[in-house]
Amino acid sequence: NAGVMQNPRHLVRRRGQEARLRCSPMKGHSHVYWYRQLPEEGLKFMVYLQKENIIDESGMPKERFSAEFPKEGPSILRIQQVVRGDSAAYFCASSQTTMTEAFFGQGTRLTVV
Amino acid sequence: KQEVTQIPAALSVPEGENLVLNCSFTDSAIYNLQWFRQDPGKGLTSLLLIQSSQREQTSGRLNASLDKSSGRSTLYIAASQPGDSATYLCAVGDQGAQKLVFGQGTRLTINP
């Protein structure tokens, strides 16, 4: 049973470009969470999704950021018109239910140049 | 708003010592509490999960306790080894919010 798979592991984008980060949850997990870790800061919740639904997006910046978890395929975190301040590690986690253990992927390290 | 604090921020001990990492949270209405390990440039590895109804969990040399009423958890590491060197993160499952609130972590170094 593969763990949570994130790709790419490293992503470099120029200012103004779009970044797409993908996350495939563990098999049997229908709950997906995205977290961001800024340099020298702790992990901050961004968004919680179930299949085809955004449940809680209270941690998402109001502009340029969006997330989806379609019926088929991985969850996508999309950042439009990236700025230097978006440079961070983005982690995806999945769980079987909201009460069970959350398993994290290896993260995508986004660098905006 | 839930806040999680970890003390100390960094800890360096010689190999073989037993040690305790501390985590405190401001709102006792939690679903669960999870301890993670993060190696530099890597993802998070789940170590222990304690449900809100439980007092402690054990896995090998690790033991985590939870005292909801006082808003505290401790992670006890027995007979520390250099391979235990990493950042240890405490995260609280916020009741009703269905998300984890993380502390800043304790950076642990075990010296051979």
Contacts of A48 in chain B (CB under 8 A): 98-99
Average pLDDT over residues A86-106: 90
Contacts of A33 in chain B (CB under 8 A): 99-100
Q: What is the pLDDT of residues B27-76, one digit of tens each?
A: 998 989 999 999 988 889 999 999 999 999 999 999 999 999 999 999 99
Checking if the pLDDT of A104 tops 80, the result is yes
At B85, list the tokens: 């060197």
Q: Tell me which residue in A58, A100, A102 faces B100 most closely, judged by beta carbons.
A: A102
Put simply, the answer to whether A55 touches B34 (Cβ < 8 Å) is no
> Which pLDDT score is estimated for B101?
93
**Integer Cα distance of A77 and A71 in angstroms:** 15
Q: Tell me which residue in B45, B49, B98 faces A55 most closely, judged by beta carbons.
A: B98
Put simply, the answer to whether B100 touches A56 (Cβ < 8 Å) is no
Q: What is the pLDDT of residues A50-84, one digit of tens each?
A: 988 999 999 999 999 999 999 899 999 999 999 99
Q: What is the pLDDT of residues A35-56, one digit of tens each?
A: 999 887 889 999 999 988 999 9
Backbone conformation region of residue B79, classed left if phi is above 0, alpha if psi is from -120 to 50, else beta? left
Confidence of residue B97 (pLDDT cuts 50, 70, 90): low
Tell me the nearest-neighbour CA distance from B48 into chain A, angstroms. 9
**Integer Cα distance of A48 and B102 in angstroms:** 15
